[in-house]
Structure 1
Amino acid sequence: MTYAIRAEGLVRRFGATTALAGVDLAVPSGTVYGLLGPNGAGKTTTVRVLATLLAADEGHATVGGYDVRRDAHRVRQLIGLTGQYASVDEALTGTENLLLIGRLLGLSRADARARARELLARFQLADAADRAAKTYSGGMRRRLDLAASLVGRPQVLFLDEPTTGLDPRSRNDLWDTVRGLVTDGVTVLLTTQYLEEADQLASEIAVVDHGRVIAQGTPEELKAKTGGQVLAIRPADPADLATVVAIAGEAAAASPEVAQSTVTVAVNGPGVLPAVVRRLDDAEIPVAELALRGASLDEVFLHLTGHRAEPDAPTGDDTPSGADLERTPA
């Protein structure tokens, strides 16, 4: 197996804050590799080091076989980078944004224009090519931003929380685009705090928390780490939640979780489900949902860290400076 990205023992400090505390990664070529974790976990700092925007205090890393410190100029020729927020020039049209990137990368005017047309068509932006980017919707700006990172035909693409702020339809469209890039042979390093996104796109995942990689593997391997299955119970009357929590916790000998009027609890034996059903019936509690399923990535993260991966609302970059990622020309 060949690896597009390798990192060993990456450490990065910002004053008294340790953003990375020894990160190890091995990203196979031609795959989507997910860095999953909450804001502040160290995901963006890892990307900045790998994209040559920050120097690690300790450890080393290679991208495409080139050392990110000694051969930074070669790494930059191989990569594309899209940060958490679209960074297009809103005063320029879609075509002008891509022409600008092309010319900065050294393409001739004719080649830059041809590449701009190709990418605008690929990202369904041809009809808006001559409109100022400030007139684009959030999803359109995000697609234009991603197109700009592909002008130089990168071998490795860093996507740092690319669907932040997008509506579900725009998010699904972007997922389809990422899958298409991998089909074309591009390696994608995706950072995300969205469990579903990692599950949908990544063939392998590294779970990051407090600057450390605490688990790695395929989504299925990570889900198996929790052991057993998960029982989900949604009472017909939310007023019964407390009673359902008590029943589920006693039957499973575990601590249930409550989210969106649904109680979930880890199940590690065949007798838990029938015991819960009997007790709900004895208590005369009608349920709207009762399901036994495999663990989700959310439960994996909770099992590994003691807290959930997704915060109530995105808060931005996880570096102490709070600065958004710059685009690195491919």
Structure 2
Amino acid sequence: MQALDTQTTIAVIGAGAMGSGIAQVAAQAGHKVYLHDQRDGAASAGRDGVAKQLQRRVDKGKMEQQAVDAIVGRIHPVSALSEVADSRMVIEAIIEDLEIKHSLLADLEELCGKKTILATNTSSISVTALGAKLRHPERLVGMHFFNPAPLMALVEVVKGLATDHSVAEIVHATATNWGKKPVFATSTPGFIVNRVARPFYAESLRLLQEGAADPATLDAIVREAGNFRMGPFELTDLIGHDVNYAVTNSVFNAYYQDARFLPSLIQKELVEAGRLGRKSGHGFYSYTEGSKRPEPDTEPSRLSDDTTLIVKGDLGPASALINRFRDAGLDIVERDGPGQL
């Protein structure tokens, strides 16, 4: 199935960090992009934010000014929803609320032509449920980007029960042309990534709530022992606690309140306090000017140069630790049987 031609117009509804990022991705691929937000001035601010981000690349010698001007010039803020009517595809990236999305998608169905693809950037709401009140749910498909959209390669192309297969294939091919790595997913709670990611956040938040360690220490453990680029508290600060908490609640309810997906009271308090992470200046960490990141609570090494580690029997999955101990300079003695230490 052919991707959408770059001569076609793309519309993005919602000019927050995600919506603006998606607009940038489409504009970089050569599309004219309408950017709409119901908040006065938000669409223009979103385009200005894209320009500011790209200008940094120019300043670092990684992009030409002419290229930046062309990309930004393809993004057109529009004040009325009706102005996106001639778009070939409309991607909604608004608040994660079923009823609000229902209302927007119904309006878009009335405004846009029959061939317009309606795509939702929802991270956890059922695409089947979103399409249930549409007259033509077959043209609704999930197109879930990850934050920051210009940098993250993965895009989940989510088919609801009524989604036409050809529509999903067009979106998949278009995402590929936009330099992304799309994967097909079915409309299950959390799709792929947000289903898998829930324990990453939930277990860490549970450890914090039980007083096992502070956020900086838990982040360091996950980065250094798990080889993740960011720990769970750094990552939720980046995503935004309002977004992360809403997705957790959505997945929790979609799985009939399965305790494995239980939302965190600590994160609930952050949301209620307006401490949403980087975008508000404070989350688990402070992002105000001059603030310093707390150091992890690290136990000093008590190993001497002549320390010997005796390994007795088969360690099973933990046997990979032996090589790490060797790399750390420990003398390893392996014994098979239950003999003397």
In the superposition, the TM-score normalised over structure 1's length comes to 0.30
In the superposition, the TM-score normalised over structure 2's length comes to 0.29
Q: Which has the higher contact order (CA 8 A, sep 6+)?
A: 1
Indicate the structure with greater helix content.
Answer: 2
User: Which structure is larger by alpha-carbon Rg, 1 or 2?
Assistant: 2
